[in-house]
Amino acid sequence: MFLPETEFGLPPIRDEGDIPNLVSTLATKPDAFVSGDKYVQTPEGRECLPFYTPAEFMQRLGSDHVVTP
List pLDDT tens digits, range 18-66.
888 888 888 888 888 888 887 777 777 777 788 888 888 888 887 666 5
With cut-offs at 50, 70 and 90, classify the pLDDT of residue 11: low
Please tell me the distance from the alpha carbon of residue 56 to that of residue 34, in angstroms, as a whole number.
Answer: 9
Domains of the chain, by residue range, sit at: 18-61
d(CA 43, CA 46): 5
Query: Would you say the C-alpha torsion 6, 28, 46, 52 has a positive or negative sign?
Result: negative
Between 17 and 7, name the one with better pLDDT. Answer: 17
